[in-house]
Amino acid sequence: MDINAIKQRLNSLQSTNTPGKKEKIDYSKVYWKPKEEGKYQIRIVPSKLNPQNPFQEVFVHYGFSKFPIYALTNWGEKDPIVEFAAQLRKTNDRENWVLAKKLDPKMRVFAPIVVRGEEEKGVRLWEFGKEIYMQLLGIAEDEDYGDYTDINDGRDFTVDVVKGDIGGRQGLKSSIRIKPKTTALSSDASMIQTFLKEQPTLLEIQRKMDFDALKEVLQNWLSPEDATEDVVTCADRDSRSPRIGLLSSRNGSTRSLCGLNGSQAPRITNDTLPG
């Protein structure tokens, strides 16, 4: 019996189970994101999860906290925010549909890539939105380009990064151009195997909230701490069917909940939120 090995394993487990000592992840080794203007050359690598499709679509909740929250549907589980949005769509009120759309998680896409000139950093995940995703799918569909992820005769991409307006604020905007010449992923066969096998797994790295925790996030978003208990009805809009209306808060903000009546009304309580 190797006592030293046993001690090391014991220390490892104790460290893992000790609160506040969670292993830190160097995200610069996991994700690639341009940090300044310029041109970058990248190669999309066949995914170890699905060699036939390098793209991984995920759905993310924005606006509920300081950081994006990955929807539980990414793991094939029920998500209280998604379920609540579905409840809102069961009504005929336009404002509820608007709110439901706001609650819907937004799609983001990731692809495993190698950045030329930084091959020693290995495969990282590149995140992009629908516009670039549609371009990449369109190019993949074009027979003139073939399979740009092919390890022997694939193609690199140039990512052009410039400053621009993104949602009303300045940020870095990316556009892509495919290289006309086909190339190998690498001239080193062992490096190619490393690229294919050693890739970050997105849903193993990303923090996953449990259902009850995400339900509490939703409840706090719907009923801020400074909200009053008063609910304004929409009876003036339809005197025959008084409905739950605007949840008013002391700071003057409101959230529309019109169009819900009876059992459909999304009362802001633990009993009526999904779960």
pLDDT over 90 at 22, yes or no = no
Class of the CATH domain delimited by 25-210: alpha beta
pLDDT digits 0-9 by tens, 197-243: 999 999 999 999 999 999 999 999 988 764 444 433 343 334 333 33
- Cα-to-chain-centroid distance, residue 262: 34
What pLDDT is recorded for position 10? 60
What pLDDT is recorded for position 77? 97
Q: What average pLDDT does this structure show over 97-111?
A: 95
pLDDT over 70 at 274, yes or no = no
What pLDDT is recorded for position 28? 86
**Which range, of 2-16, 44-58, 104-118, averages the lowest pLDDT?**
2-16
pLDDT over 90 at 252, yes or no = no
Q: What average pLDDT does this structure show over 136-141?
A: 96
The ranges assigned to domains in the chain are 25-210
Length of the chain: 275
Quote the CA–CA distance of 125 and 112 in Å, as a whole number.
5
Per cent of the chain over pLDDT 90 is 64
Q: What average pLDDT does this structure show over 30-52?
A: 95
Three-class secondary structure of residue 258 per DSSP: strand
What pLDDT is recorded for position 168? 77
Q: What average pLDDT does this structure show over 75-90?
A: 96
Per cent of the chain over pLDDT 70 is 73
pLDDT over 80 at 263, yes or no = no
- pTM, full prediction: 0.74
Check the CA dihedral 130-136-137-139 and report its sign. Answer: positive
What pLDDT is recorded for position 164? 83
> What kind and span of H or E run contains 230?
strand 227-233
Helix residue ranges per DSSP H, 75-210: 80-88, 94-103, 130-141, 189-197, 202-205
Quote the CA–CA distance of 16 and 21 in Å, as a whole number.
7
pLDDT digits 0-9 by tens, 140-164: 999 999 999 999 999 999 999 998 8
Structure tokens at 124: 């990282």
